[in-house]
Amino acid sequence: MYWLVETEEQINYLISRQFKDAFVEVIPLSDNIHPANNDVSLVYFKPFIEPKGFMLCVTHSECLGVSKTQVTQLLTQTNTLWTRDKKSTLFYFQIQSLLDVSAVIPPYIQDKTQAHHILYQRYPNKKDINTIVPIVKHYETCQLIYDNIKHGFEEERPPYFDFYNKWAPLAFFGLEKNGIKINKEEFETHFHPVDGDYVYTSYNYNTLTTRPSNKFGGVNYAALNKENGCRKSFIPRNDEFVEYDISAYHPTLAAKLVDYEFGEGDIHQAFADMSKVDYKKAKELTFKQLYGGVFDNYKDLPFFKKTSVYIEDNWKKFNEVGYVEVPTSGYRFYKSKLEDMNPQKLFNYVLQNLETATNVCILIELHKLLRGKNTKLVLYTYDSFLFDLDKSEDLIIKIEKVFKKYQVNVKNSYGENYNFKS
């Protein structure tokens, strides 16, 4: 049986087999280029019933090529199709029914072969470098990936599988594909040379708490400097940028966890009133106590009293049951998988996961709202959402309704670039 698929006859034969269960790994033109600017070189397709996988050739120097349409047909008709990174795979094949094995087991990265390393070092700027890496070396890498993750296909799906298999990949894929327009001169002054007028973010939510990092091409988009002028590099493709910041986000989430109502006013002012201190001091005290533990002289205040009880109960469950489950995502923090834990640290982990899960829900709603619109959501950073706004679409009220639906208070900033201050 052949393993290299490079003719119409060969792929049509695979299509006719109508495989029920399989794994897919996409080999792009280059591993160094963002999927939004990339395309397919090869596709590794491993039906579970076959002893070895197939390498489907789309574009490579060593073989003929089959059409991407035919590959899509093969993948689409497979009943259960697993992938190692659903968010990235969606850039090449928009098959929403894909199953992400990283939602079951820890994410796996296979080291490349020596041939990969040599060629990437020799041709660092070649945009289709994978088309000259020997196919057999790509095949070797993919076989190793499959062998190391295949146990995940058989494991029981965790209670949070649906959330991290379906909603999280779609939320961040929807963000990444939009890209951010740049002032090329400014960007290259602060960062590095770049082709084109857009750059792309890359969200990694496979972190300890699922709170995503956001780095690509040497740029940390989750921590852009606010003082050195680098934010001037980012400009709207439409009329202006508008950024929505969620006010007092963690106190808001904590209040939901402990079933405490602040009302619709400013939460920090509510803390100021209950603590009998000024606004600035109240804000400082609130965060110190959320992240470091409730002070003795504030333990009798209703919110902090409830918070202390929640932290204690959560810690007890963590030790007795072996895990705690976070609302919204269903994510579980297992005692067996965490080291050096304490009650307050566990509470902070829960808050970070709940923050990200709530944001995923908000992102999905915003993607639906902006579908087919010129206005784009181009950046998300923990408690802020950056929109590239087309004023003629009159979307501000609708956008704000989404945040209101999730019971968070927001404030906004406007600007002709991302360097706005208020």
Strands (E), 173-256: 180-181, 198-199, 203-204, 213-216, 219-220, 240-246
Mean pLDDT score of the chain, rounded to an integer? 95
Domain co-membership, 275 together with 404: yes
Q: How far apart are CA 160 and CA 139, in angstroms?
A: 32
Say whether pLDDT at 101 is over 60.
yes
Domain co-membership, 54 together with 183: no
Please compute the mean of the pLDDT values over residues 84-100 and round it to a whole number.
Answer: 95
Domain co-membership, 251 together with 116: no
pLDDT tens profile 230-244: 999 999 999 999 999
Range of the domain at 133: 4-157
Domain co-membership, 28 together with 49: yes
Domain co-membership, 36 together with 105: yes
Q: At 97, is the pLDDT very low, low, confident or very high (cuts 50, 70, 90)?
A: confident
Domain co-membership, 179 together with 79: no
Say whether pLDDT at 272 is over 90.
no
Edge-first strand order for the sheet with 384-389 is 376-381, 384-389, 240-246, 410-415
Domain co-membership, 146 together with 169: no
pLDDT tens profile 23-42: 999 999 999 999 999 999 99
Can you give the pLDDT at residue 266?
A: 80
Contacts of 323 (CB under 8 A, 6+ apart): 317, 332, 333, 334, 335
The domain that holds 182 is classified in CATH as: 3.30.70.370
Domain co-membership, 83 together with 189: no
Q: At 279, is the pLDDT very low, low, confident or very high (cuts 50, 70, 90)?
A: confident
Please compute the mean of the pLDDT values over residues 83-90 and round it to a whole number.
Answer: 97
The domain that holds 43 is classified in CATH as: 3.30.420.10
Can you give the pLDDT at residue 46?
A: 98
Residue that terminates a domain, selected from 100, 134, 157: 157
Residue that terminates a domain, selected from 123, 157, 191: 157
What does the block give as tokens for 223?
A: 């921590």
Say whether pLDDT at 422 is over 50.
no
For residues 194 and 187, the answer to whether their CB atoms sit within 8 Å is yes
Can you give the pLDDT at residue 186?
A: 97
Q: How far apart are CA 284 and CA 92, in angstroms?
A: 46
Please compute the mean of the pLDDT values over residues 374-386 and round it to a whole number.
Answer: 97
How many domains, the chain? 2
Say whether pLDDT at 410 is over 70.
yes
Domain co-membership, 129 together with 188: no
Dihedrals phi, psi of 104, to nearest 5 degrees: -110, -45
Report which DSSP code applies to 167. I
Q: Which of 39-43, 44-48, 229-233, 265-269 has the lowest mean pLDDT?
A: 265-269
Domain co-membership, 31 together with 49: yes
Can you give the pLDDT at residue 421?
A: 62
Domain co-membership, 214 together with 290: yes
pLDDT tens profile 165-201: 999 999 999 999 999 999 999 999 999 999 999 999 9
Domain co-membership, 261 together with 367: yes
pLDDT tens profile 323-364: 999 999 999 999 999 999 999 999 999 999 999 999 999 999
Residue that terminates a domain, selected from 128, 157, 186: 157
3 state DSSP class of 388: strand
Please compute the mean of the pLDDT values over residues 112-134 and round it to a whole number.
Answer: 97
